[in-house]
Amino acid sequence: MRRFKRIITIVLPSLGIGETADAARFGDQGADTLGHVCDYWQGSLKLPTLTKLGLGNIPRRSPLTGILAVTPLQSHVGKMRSISDDKDSLSTHWELMAAVHQRTLATFPNGFSSQLIKKIEKFSNRQVILNRSASELTAIRLFGQQQLKEGDLIVYTSSDSVLQVSANEMVVSLAELYRICRYIRFVADEDQLNIGRVIACPFIGKSPSNFKLTDKRREFAIDLPAVTALDVLKQHQIPVTGAGQLTDLFSGRGMTRQIHGQKAILTKILKTLETQTFGLIIADLGSLDEDAHARDPYGYGKDLMQLDAWLNAVVQQLTPTDLLLITADHANDPTFKGIGHTREFVPLIAASPNAIGGQLTQSLELADVGATILANFGIDHQLPGKSFLNQIS
């Protein structure tokens, strides 16, 4: 079995590829993130890098509009499903790294309790506004002006197990916003509220027309319930660079280096490829999920094309001893009802220069990614997941 010297794993949150067999249990019949985005763009969605890597070759009920299958196939492709009982980003990211979360995290469709809100107001000495389900962009567009004027805290949630706090950086400093979120994390854990993430979502601008989220977003996650593949890699002294949202989702555990922020993250990852020649580089590129929550298929397609161009730069840096894994942790159809994630398969592309491509098994699960990474570095483990390394060697 061939082992790769370096594995680069790129997670594109929300890039679903069609409903799973259990979609009806979640009310997600008919969801198809990539299919519906391609249909929306009427064949003008140009993804040359992903197309060349075999995105159009992944089995699905109907072909993707404008995304062709390629011959010969140079990568190994397939699709994976989650076995978690929810669609939360926290659970699915953990699952990718072979830690299946059996306890369903709490959600708050009617907002948070008055007791919790009172505690937040007392600690922060600021009033809480909104306190209901909303996308990040909707929250700041509708309530950003009031927050800027009155100094309140915009508190909201989504279909995920999250408590989000937005404030304008001109009114609430980043240090204060992070301190408030750390307090909420403490209270949520002490009161056993089972909130998956407390998220600081700062924004800038002086009016709704130019309000925008910044790259200073921070997530304060509930403690991981189990050992992950990242923990095991660290135990075996395998270098791990984590980039993007997942550094917070794993609370930095198992990572020897972290890359935060969004604005410069793509450039920093390319720089890391130049200097880290061994181990794991794993990056979460979450901009697509923001478009999906806002139900913006135009913005989704635009961002996806920009990421496709960036992926080409990644591919250009690959050597024959590299393995590139491209996938998603969950789906989020921007044309679907509501604002939440959708229960779908996610794509899996495994690429290495000079490889002979093919189809991966049809029964892949998210945890198989973590199991494959551990198998590649010759590490025995008792974590969930089955390695597909022998299929791509």
Determine if residue 143 is left, alpha or beta; phi over 0 gives left, psi from -120 to 50 gives alpha, anything else beta.
alpha
Domain 6-102+224-391 falls under CATH 3.40.720.10: yes
Phi, psi of 91 (to 5 degrees): -60, -40
Q: Is 209 left (phi over 0), alpha (psi -120 to 50) or beta?
A: alpha
Paired residues of 78 in beta bridges: 348
Q: Is 280 helix (H, G, I), strand (E, B) or coil?
A: strand
Say yes or no: do domains 6-102+224-391 and 114-221 share a fold.
no
Give the C-alpha distances (Å, rounded to integers) separating 115 from 118, 121, 188, 367.
5, 10, 11, 38
DSSP string over 61-115 = SSPPTT----SS--SEEEEEE--SSS--HHHHHHHHTT----SPPP--TT---HH
**Ordered DSSP codes for 352-390:** -TT---EEPPTTEETHHHHHHHHHHTT-----S----GG
Q: State how far the alpha carbon of 33 is from the alpha carbons of 2, 109, 205, 284, 292, in Å.
A: 34, 23, 31, 18, 9
**Three-class SS state of 331:** strand
Nearest Cα neighbor of 247 from 105, 97, 83 is 97
- Dihedral sign (CA 270, 318, 48, 304): negative
Residue 308 tokens, joined:
């496709």
Architecture, CATH, for domain 114-221: 2-Layer Sandwich (3.30)
Tens-digit pLDDT string for the chain (393 aa): 558 999 999 999 999 999 999 999 999 999 999 999 999 999 999 999 999 999 999 999 999 999 999 999 999 999 999 999 889 999 999 999 999 877 778 999 999 999 999 999 999 999 999 999 998 989 999 999 999 999 999 999 998 899 999 999 999 999 999 999 999 999 999 999 999 999 999 999 999 999 999 989 999 999 887 899 999 999 999 999 999 989 999 999 999 999 987 668 999 999 999 999 999 999 999 889 989 998 999 999 999 999 999 999 999 999 999 999 999 999 999 999 998 999 999 999 999 998 889 999 878 999 999 999 999 999 999 999 999 999 986
- Locate the domains of the chain by residue range: 6-102+224-391, 114-221
pTM of the model: 0.93
Which helix (H) or strand (E) segment holds residue 322: the answer is strand 322-327
